[in-house]
Chain A
Amino acid sequence: MSHHDRSTSRLIAEEPAFRRLVRAKRRSAVPALVVGVGFYIAISLMAGYAPSFMSASVSGAVNVGYALIFAMYVLTWTIAVIYVRRANRTFDRLAAAALAAGGVGGDDAKAGAVGDARDASATAGTIGAISEAKA
């Protein structure tokens, strides 16, 4: 890799449009994973260490453990739907903007046009506005 290529990929990763995409993804991904996987880990720990709590009745023979397991299904579906809706509305638009700003094509993000990043992000802004108008 030549020196020029290296600074190129660095520049692309620091491109504001791309940083916006990464931030948006992180804002959605971290809470979704913490809540979803966290709830599952909590149920599993309680099954191991609080069996009498898990066996307590909720309604008739249905106990806390089964209620939490059924709640886990609903929670998983809810998180997934919220995440995917947000991704379909936001991430793809931000990714298109980042691509336009990077002027990327081909394998190694060989954006010869990084020098024109400023011009490109103007284009990206337009693309963003168009897809926003569509949504």
Chain B
Amino acid sequence: MTLLTFAIFLLILAMTLAITYWAARRTNTTSEFYAAGGDLSAAQNGFALAGDWMSAAAFLGFTGLAALYGMDGSLYAVGALVAFLPILIIIAEPLRNTGKYTVADVIAYRMQSSHARMASVVGSIVVNIAYLVPQMAGAGVLIKLLVGIPYTVSVVVVGALMIVYVAFGGMIATTWVQIIKAVLLMVTGAILVIWIGALFGFNLSELFGAVGSQYGSDFLSPGNYLTHPLDPISLALSFALGTAGLPHVLIRFYTVKNAKVARNSIIWLMFLAGAFFMMTTIIGLAAAHFVGRDAILASGGGGNLALPLLAEHLGGGPGTIGGTIFLAFVAAIAFTTILAVVAGLTVATSGAIAHDVYVNVIKRGAVTEKQQLRVARWSTVAVGATAIALGLLAQGVNVAVLVILAIAVAASANFPVIALSLFWRRFNTWGVVGGVAVGLASSVGLAAVGPAVMGPEAIFPLVNPTLLSMPLGFAGAIVGALLRPRDKTAEERFDAVFFRAHTGAESRL
């Protein structure tokens, strides 16, 4: 590891720890811990959402897919933007108006039942852990490849930092780490794209022409990565609707004052992250052209080094001063990206454990504010320690399947239950339990017998099981609800919930 890389890493560490120190002094209530006090502006929450959503899987993964497999990588990337249409239009505002700190708040408020809350907590925790472990493992692999720090050290450092950020600075520190990361990532993307543009006379078809003549037109056709004809649609559904079931994304809407700020913050996110996802196509194709697919494959990391290698190439190539500076900078950004995402996941998970399970189910709300805060901080430590342990166990395991699983479970177990709770009058606690159970079992089960785990001998042909598991999740929720006779009181309660979801009547529980 060069001195320069070390210096950039230290600078970013110092900055995030200073933020945490500042945030810790402002974190004295549960509202500040879980929701940053609920008073962020649309721009602040928009940048933080972008920092939360543009994970290493987007920054390094989408560019790698675009570089190695052409169009399929771009199809992947645009889905990450489309996903926010359903969130904007049907989920964010009602969620903001009926929940407090967690996704399960919404379900529990509607159903007035701790069974419903617990079912929702199970869905949230499975998704969060499935999302958290690949981030930790990704950090280990990437930092090792980029700067040579051993896997174990990277995983422990990332885990320790996320515990410090969240345990001390809660959602306030998380928000500002995410904002800084979003700015750094956007600037890096913009510099790369302008640089690439200058090399091709700012003419996109020149870039396509160069890549096309180098690798043949088949490279720019669909089907190089998503090989089964139903793979793209299954992926599309899991992205378009699964994102609306990701707790670490949804809890960001509790950090704003009302539904109007929530929706305006989504516009910020859509232009920031959308522009970035669009850039990954250009960066990926340029990496295929300049670095070459063989060199990207040979570098290890399954294509994830396409962007760092391109940056090194543009800076002057391996061994040059410019190349080294660029690589060091990109490595530091990748590291910050991972930190910002794992911090968001940690807030969401400790909320599910401390706020949902301990305070609301075990203690039935009979806990003082001070005790709640203490439990929240200790849950953070427990979540962080678990994530470190699982991250270490995941060394050498193909964690790509976990990323697919996280979004598939979110689409199949969480989304149906959230959507039906907010919009279906006849829905009830049995439906919540049925939806989570069937959605979880079908997405995990089908992924386990699919190509990501079983390879060519797969029993189920699709890598992403959402095409089948999401309808099954909905079926489980609907059948579960219909197994109970109609309950007039509960249905009339829905009218009050629905009214509040859409008017914000006396927001906050």
Binding between chains A and B: yes
Knowing A9-B492, A33-B85, A99-B505, say if A109 contacts B499 (CB, 8 Å).
yes
In whole angstroms, how far apart are the Cα atoms of A41 and B235 in the complex?
Answer: 10
Is there a chain A Cβ closer than 8 Å to B21's Cβ?
A: no
Q: Mark contacts of A56-70 with chain B using CB atoms, 8 A cut-off: 1 yes-contact digit, 0 otherwise.
A: 000111110110011
In whole angstroms, how far apart are the Cα atoms of A13 and B498 in the complex?
Answer: 8
- A109, closest chain B residue (CB): B496
In whole angstroms, how far apart are the Cα atoms of A72 and B260 in the complex?
Answer: 25
CB < 8 Å neighbour of B493 from A9, A76, A77: A9
Tell me if B84 and A104 are in contact (CB < 8 A): no
Q: Which chain B residues border A13 with CB–CB below 8 Å?
A: 495-496, 498-499
Is there a chain B Cβ closer than 8 Å to A126's Cβ?
A: no
Instruction: Write the nearest CB–CB distance from A87 to chain B, whole angstroms.
Output: 6
Q: Report, as a range, how many residues of chain B touch the other chain.
A: 35 or more
Q: Mark contacts of B247-261 with chain A using CB atoms, 8 A cut-off: 1 yes-contact digit, 0 otherwise.
A: 000000000000110
CB < 8 Å neighbour of B495 from A9, A45, A61, A98: A9
Is there a chain B Cβ closer than 8 Å to A21's Cβ?
A: yes
Tell me if A41 and B233 are in contact (CB < 8 A): yes
Tell me if B78 and A72 are in contact (CB < 8 A): yes
CB < 8 Å neighbour of A37 from B86, B212, B223, B499: B86
Q: Which chain A residues border B78 with CB–CB below 8 Å?
A: 40, 69, 72-73, 76
Q: Report, as a range, how many residues of chain A touch the other chain.
A: 35 or more
Instruction: Write the nearest CB–CB distance from A21 to chain B, whole angstroms.
Output: 6
Tell me if A6 and B222 are in contact (CB < 8 A): no
Is there a chain A Cβ closer than 8 Å to B74's Cβ?
A: yes
Q: Which chain A residues border B226 with CB–CB below 8 Å?
A: 47-48
Tell me if A48 and B88 are in contact (CB < 8 A): no
Tell me if B221 and A54 are in contact (CB < 8 A): yes
Binding site for A on B (CB under 8 A): 71-72, 74-75, 78-79, 81-82, 84-86, 88-90, 204-205, 208-209, 211-213, 217-218, 220-223, 226, 228-233, 235-237, 240, 259-260, 263-264, 266-267, 270-271, 274, 277-278, 281, 488-489, 492-493, 495-496, 498-500, 502-506, 509
Ordered nearest first, which 4 A-B pairs have the shortest CB separation? A61-B212, A13-B495, A48-B229, A44-B236
Show 12 A/B contacts (Cβ-Cβ < 8 Å), sorted by A.
A6-B488, A32-B89, A44-B236, A55-B220, A65-B221, A81-B267, A95-B504, A102-B503, A104-B503, A105-B506, A107-B506, A109-B500
